[in-house]
């Protein structure tokens, strides 16, 4: 991560997130040309949490960063486990934490298309031009999910983004990875995680119009 990212506070008052959910927003800001910024929706979460959870947050403020830190730890542990294959991981590279006007944010590798803009997600690709053209990189992604034991509690077509470079097309799961349970069963058991991946890939296949074959571990056209 560039040192300038870690020393400055990023103002988000005039920035519009490229993606926003209840838990967090994702920003593509000009001062971070090679990264995207994930920032939890701190204020929104506080309005819906009950008194007990709000009290816990006041007593232990680090708890609100739990999802950010778990994703970062998950990615870094994979790099330590597979140092020679880090470039093949089907999740982005963690680039560090940064202060923002909305609270602590996390910087992640920016997945781009040939024009350098943010890459398209699988859901939008299928809506625009169908699945056939991206079936090969999608199957490579699926193989790598099992190969590296990626825990993916929120695996769906909207979270898969296609990186396109000359001679390279690769899908990344940009959000919704890492074991969030108190007891990380899927991280501890490859069998349990493989079963979960098969279920989620089959569901995603139905969403985008292909069939997931569990034994062969690949998608096929109807």
**pLDDT tens across 124-157, in order?**
999 999 999 999 999 999 999 999 999 999 999 9
User: 187, 188, 177: which is closest to 153 by C-alpha?
Assistant: 177
Adjacent-strand bridge partners of 104? 99
3-state secondary structure of 129: helix
Q: For the chain, how big is the Rg over CA atoms in Å?
A: 18
Taking the model in full, what pTM does it have? Answer: 0.87
Q: CA of 58: how far to CAs of 61, 62, 176, 222, in Å?
A: 5, 9, 26, 52
Token pair 């103002």 is found at: 11
Residue 3's region, left for phi above 0, alpha for psi from -120 to 50, else beta, is alpha
Confidence of residue 205 (pLDDT cuts 50, 70, 90): very high
Provide the pLDDT for residue 117. Answer: 93
Rounded CA separation 77/74 (Å): 5
Rounded CA separation 63/93 (Å): 23
Higher-confidence position of 125 and 7: 125
Of 18-22, 24-28, 84-88, 178-182, the poorest mean pLDDT is in 178-182
Is pLDDT of 51 > 90?
A: no
User: 118, 103, 113: which is closest to 36 by C-alpha?
Assistant: 118
Six-digit token pair at 35? 């990264």
Contact yes or no for 208/130 (Cβ under 8 A): no
Confidence of residue 32 (pLDDT cuts 50, 70, 90): confident
Provide the pLDDT for residue 183. Answer: 62
Confidence of residue 66 (pLDDT cuts 50, 70, 90): confident
Provide the pLDDT for residue 56. Answer: 60
Q: Mean pLDDT throughout 112-122?
A: 95
Q: Mean pLDDT throughout 65-82?
A: 91
Six-digit token pair at 164? 């396109």
Provide the pLDDT for residue 42. Answer: 64
Provide the pLDDT for residue 133. Answer: 96
Rounded CA separation 198/217 (Å): 8
Is pLDDT of 54 > 90?
A: no
Higher-confidence position of 57 and 173: 173
Rounded CA separation 199/158 (Å): 17
Pairing of strands 168-173, 160-165: antiparallel
Token pair 């609100």 is found at: 64
- State the helix-helix crossing angle for 122-129 and 190-208, rounded to 10 degrees: 30
């Amino acid at each position: 991560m560039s040192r300038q990212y870690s020393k400055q506070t990023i103002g988000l008052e005039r920035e519009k997130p490229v993606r926003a959910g209840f838990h967090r927003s994702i920003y593509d800001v000009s001062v971070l040309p090679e990264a995207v910024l994930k920032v939890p929706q701190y204020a929104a979460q506080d309005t819906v949490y009950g008194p007990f959870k709000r009290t816990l947050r006041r007593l232990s403020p680090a708890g609100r960063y739990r999802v950010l830190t778990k994703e970062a730890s998950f990615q870094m542990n994979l790099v330590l486990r597979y140092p020679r294959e880090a470039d093949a991981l089907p999740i982005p590279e963690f680039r560090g934490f940064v202060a923002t006007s909305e609270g602590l944010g996390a910087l992640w590798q920016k997945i781009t298309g040939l024009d350098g803009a943010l890459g398209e997600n699988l859901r939008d690709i299928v809506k625009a031009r169908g699945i056939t053209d991206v079936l090969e990189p999608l199957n490579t992604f699926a193989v790598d999910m099992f190969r590296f034991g990626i825990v993916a509690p929120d695996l769906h077509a909207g979270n898969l983004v296609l990186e396109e470079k000359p001679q390279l097309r690769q899908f990344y799961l940009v959000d919704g990875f890492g074991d969030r349970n108190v007891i990380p069963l899927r991280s501890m058991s490859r069998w349990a995680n493989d079963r979960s991946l098969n279920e989620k890939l089959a569901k995603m296949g139905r969403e985008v119009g292909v069939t997931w074959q569990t034994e062969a571990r690949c998608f096929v056209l109807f």
